[in-house]
């Protein structure tokens, strides 16, 4: 199956700093990538859709200025948590699809990033 | 918004079939049902998907009712490694593309 790589797997930072998370599609091109957030023992919540070469589309209630998304190439999307605070601590997961919009479209997920803000 | 409801947890004896139900009563005609599973602190793993016909692959079978308002994921011979949270997802089609919204999932525990 298609491989999506996410880095770092774990990050601890001080309150007020910014953290960048990378998501790469290793063996396919992805015009669209998705960013999810997950709290302990909760389901995945879609945050935003990252579009190559254009602005990301954010879900309702997600702060655009807090969670900056850049999709500069067909294999890389980044999520930057700006001025992080303890309430931003969460598990962040990216995903991508090699056949966007097709009948058999499947999402492939990265391994996730555990962000802890002190 | 998630369009699925699932029981929060289930147990299954090792070696027996695990049947995980999902309700999606508001599903539209062109929306697919997907199943993913997530083992603790990892990214979700694709299992199977279907539209209206039953589907089978090397991991599982998917049974979709004729009215498409519910489905069942079947793991034919559960092993301890199948312990995970299983998510039933309806893939929603928008003009900009498909979106996958996760429901609350079922935590499956396979018991030795």
Going A112 to B109 to B70 to A104, the CA torsion angle's sign is: positive
Q: Across-strand partners of A36?
A: A46, A93
* A67–chain B Cβ distance below 8 A for any pair: no
**pLDDT given at position B94:** 76
Chain B residues whose CB is inside 8 A of the A112 CB are 41-43
Name which of A43, A37, A6, A15 is nearest A116 in CA terms. Answer: A15
What is the share, in percent, of chain A residues with pLDDT greater than 90? 71
| Residue given tokens 């990216």 in the structure block | A94
Asked if B6 and B104 count as a contact pair (C-beta separation under 8 A), the reply is yes
What per-residue confidence (pLDDT) applies to B51?
A: 92
pLDDT digits (tens, 9 = 90+) for B53-85: 899 999 999 999 999 999 999 999 999 999 999
Mutation target among B8, B48, B88, B97 for the A interface, most CBs of A within 10 A: B97
* Contact yes or no for A84/A66 (Cβ under 8 A): no
Q: Residue A107 in contact with residue A97, Cβ under 8 Å? A: yes
E strand spans, chain A:
4-7, 10-13, 19-25, 32-38, 44-51, 57-58, 67-73, 76-81, 90-96, 108-109, 113-117
**Average pLDDT for chain A:** 91
Question: Which residue from B2, B42, B46 is facing A106, i.e. has the nearest CB?
Answer: B46
Q: What is the pLDDT of residue B36?
A: 96
Q: Which residues contact B28 (CB under 8 A, 6 or more apart)?
A: none
pLDDT in tens, B83-101: 999 999 998 877 777 788 8
What pLDDT is stored for residue B1 in this prediction?
A: 58
Average pLDDT over residues A80-88: 96
Q: Is A77 on the interface with B (CB under 8 A)?
A: no
A58, A105, A113: best to mutate for the B interface, most B CBs within 10 A: A105
Mean pLDDT, chain B, whole residue set: 92
Residue A5 in this model has a pLDDT that exceeds 90: yes
Quick check: B34 pLDDT over 70? yes
Average pLDDT over residues A9-13: 97
The residue-averaged pLDDT of A4-27 equals 96
| pLDDT(B50) > 90 | yes
Residues of B with CB under 8 A from a CB of A: 2, 32, 34, 36, 38, 41-46, 49, 87, 91, 96-105
Please indicate whether, in this complex, the C-beta atoms of A112 and B96 are within 8 angstroms of each other. Answer: no
Q: What is the rounded end-to-end Cα distance, in angstroms, of chain B?
A: 36
């Amino acid at each position: 199956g298609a491989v999506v790589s996410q880095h770092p797997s774990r990050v601890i930072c001080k309150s007020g700093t910014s953290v960048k998370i990378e998501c790469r599609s290793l063996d396919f091109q992805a015009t669209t990538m998705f960013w999810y957030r997950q709290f302990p023992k909760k389901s995945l919540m879609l945050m935003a859709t990252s579009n190559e070469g254009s602005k990301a589309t954010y879900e309702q209630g997600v702060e655009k200025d807090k969670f900056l998304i850049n999709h500069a190439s067909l294999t890389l999307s980044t999520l930057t948590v700006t001025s992080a605070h303890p309430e931003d601590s969460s598990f962040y997961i990216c995903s991508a699809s090699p056949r966007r919009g097709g009948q058999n479209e499947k999402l492939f997920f990265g391994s996730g990033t555990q962000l802890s803000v002190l | 918004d998630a369009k699925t409801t699932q029981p929060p947890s289930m147990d299954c004896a090792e070696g027996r079939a695990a049947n995980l139900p999902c309700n999606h009563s508001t599903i539209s005609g062109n929306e697919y049902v997907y199943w993913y599973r997530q083992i603790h602190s990892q990214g979700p793993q694709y299992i199977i998907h279907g539209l209206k016909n039953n589907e089978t692959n090397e991991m599982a079978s998917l049974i979709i009712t004729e009215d498409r308002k519910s489905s069942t994921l079947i793991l034919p011979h559960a092993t301890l490694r199948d312990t995970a949270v299983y998510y039933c997802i309806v893939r929603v089609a928008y003009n900009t593309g498909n979106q996958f919204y996760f429901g609350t999932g079922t935590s499956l525990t396979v018991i030795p």
